[in-house]
Amino acid sequence: MFTLELTEPMQAVRNLAYTYARDEIRPIAAQYDELEEMPWPFLKRAAQSGLLSGLTRMELSSKAVGRRQDDVSSASLMATVIMEELAWGCAGITMALASSSLAWNPVQAMGNSEQQKFFLETLSGLDEQGRPKLAAMGLTEPEAGSDISRLRTVAVPDGSHYILNGSKRFMSNGASASIYVVWATLDPSAGRAAVRAFLIPRSTPGLIPGKKERKLGIRASETAGLTLEDCRVPAEMMLGYGSGRAPRGLAAAKSLLETTRPLVAALALGIGRAALEYAMEYAQTQVRDGKPLAQHQSVAFPLAEVAAELTAARLLLWKAAEMADCMLHNIKENAMAKFYAVPAAMRAASLAVSILGPEGVRKGCPVEKWFRDVRVFDI
């Protein structure tokens, strides 16, 4: 099952993602970090090329690589590979590219064919401001956090509709999305059994997007809250409605949280690798006491340790992803991948700052940005 090397087609996709990150993403990373804005011109080009919709449905890797000789899909593995490469360019821009997939996942897992079609059709074309349409997923709440059993957003039946009231926080694409997947409870006292998810277009009365948050890092990706005030949603917009089986709100929500862990690990790895490469190049070109910094043990040994940690984290991540491709239970492996990758990436960024010294914390130095960006994933 699990191998330590990518196949030639997989490596070709990885190289393509790296080239795209190098040529299209990294040159604009500092600009949108400074502006704290979504890179809309870039996203429009990505939409026109099919990259945006491909990342939303995480279909790019499976189409390019296909199935292995043992007839096992490589979609999950290649998704993590692609995300690391893109995050090497800029994790914030990568989040802007891929965050709609967080909303698509429950629609794909729970939604009936009409709901899936409606979701994808809503995202086609441009919005009224000429920007590509995005989706947002609302689970986290001010009081409950992401604890599914303590949701306070309530959906009350009202004839052929549900009336939703409540609020959400920290939603990627939250201020600009054209469609939202909102998690709510039919009965707060019933705990997890009453959890449901609703598909809600932006134009629905009572759905009020919040202002975007200002953040430490990942600034090219928009984060905002959402308020629901007597928001009237047709019953057929409850995910799984009319499918002939009970809606799987709890199971899908837990599955969603599980699938985000390897992607967070991949994003962190991309940042960590970028910081390590920058620090290694700097150490090879800067001379102290008559020899390059890289030849001083006090610099070379920590660089080697971080390189080993990032490599180990990548293999943990690949194992978790390949288990998903083989339809194996991988909750533990997903958690291990994130648990190991994020601190390793943080150490890489911190070491890069230490090696560069004052230059490493100067605005405009990419190491300063990576140091801020990676901290977001430790939350």
Q: Indicate the domain borders of the chain.
A: 8-103, 111-118+130-248, 251-376
The answer to whether 53 and 44 have CB atoms below 8 angstroms apart is no
Least confident range of 18-27, 73-82, 299-308, 314-323: 73-82
Q: When comparing pLDDT for 27 and 9, which is higher?
A: 27
Residue 100 CB-density burial (10 A; 0-12 exposed, 13-18 middle, 19+ buried): buried
Domain range 8-103, CATH class: mainly alpha
pLDDT in tens, 304-344: 999 999 999 999 999 999 999 898 999 999 999 999 999 99
Most confident of 110-114, 259-263, 274-278: 274-278
Distance CA 26, CA 366 (A): 10
Least confident range of 81-90, 246-255, 318-327: 246-255
Domain range 111-118+130-248, CATH class: mainly beta
Q: How many other CB atoms sit within 10 Å of the CB of residue 243?
A: 15
The reported pLDDT for the residue numbered 171 is 98
* Domain covering 251-376 in this structure, CATH number: 1.20.140.10
Distance CA 4, CA 172 (A): 33
The reported pLDDT for the residue numbered 62 is 45
The reported pLDDT for the residue numbered 196 is 93
Which residues, 6 or more positions from 143, have their beta carbon under 8 angstroms from its beta carbon? Answer: 150, 152
Cα distances (Å, whole numbers) of residue 52 to 46, 59, 101, 236, 248: 5, 10, 10, 27, 28
Residue 66 has pLDDT above 50, yes or no: no
